[in-house]
């Protein structure tokens, strides 16, 4: 069982991709772009991980779509 305060390697990679993408492009990447960068083909799996990160307060959406997500703290 994993500790709730420790990110998985996949979650850490997703956070890095989001942060790097925002710096480079000025907006968050799409779910497909995140998946391509971290080696995940399933958009559902990427969305699941984004939901877990949002539940932990590490990212938040300003709209309904993940493209509008921002890093928190």
**CA-CA-CA-CA torsion for 46, 39, 41, 57, nearest 10 degrees?**
0
Q: How many distinct structural domains can be found in the chain?
A: 1
Residue 10: which residues within 8 A CB-CB, separation 6 or more?
38, 40, 49
pLDDT the model gives residue 40 = 96
Q: Which residue segment(s) compose the domain that 41 sits in?
A: 9-71
Strands 59-61 and 69-71, sheet pairing: antiparallel
pTM of the model: 0.87
Asked, for residue 37, whether it belongs to a domain, the answer is yes
pLDDT the model gives residue 2 = 55
Asked, for residue 3, whether it belongs to a domain, the answer is no
Residues of the chain under the 50 pLDDT cut: 1
The domain that holds 55 is classified in CATH as 1.10.10.10
Asked, for residue 1, whether it belongs to a domain, the answer is no
The three-class DSSP label of residue 70 is strand
CA-atom Rg of the chain in angstroms: 11
The mean pLDDT of the chain is: 90
pLDDT the model gives residue 36 = 97
pLDDT the model gives residue 28 = 92
């Amino acid at each position: 069982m994993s500790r709730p305060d420790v990110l998985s390697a996949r979650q850490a990679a997703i956070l890095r991709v989001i942060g790097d993408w925002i710096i480079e492009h000025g907006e968050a990447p799409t779910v497909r772009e995140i998946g391509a960068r971290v080696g995940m083909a399933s958009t559902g799996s990427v969305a699941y991980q984004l939901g877990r990160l949002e539940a932990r307060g590490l990212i938040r959406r300003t709209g309904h779509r993940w493209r509008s997500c921002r890093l928190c703290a």
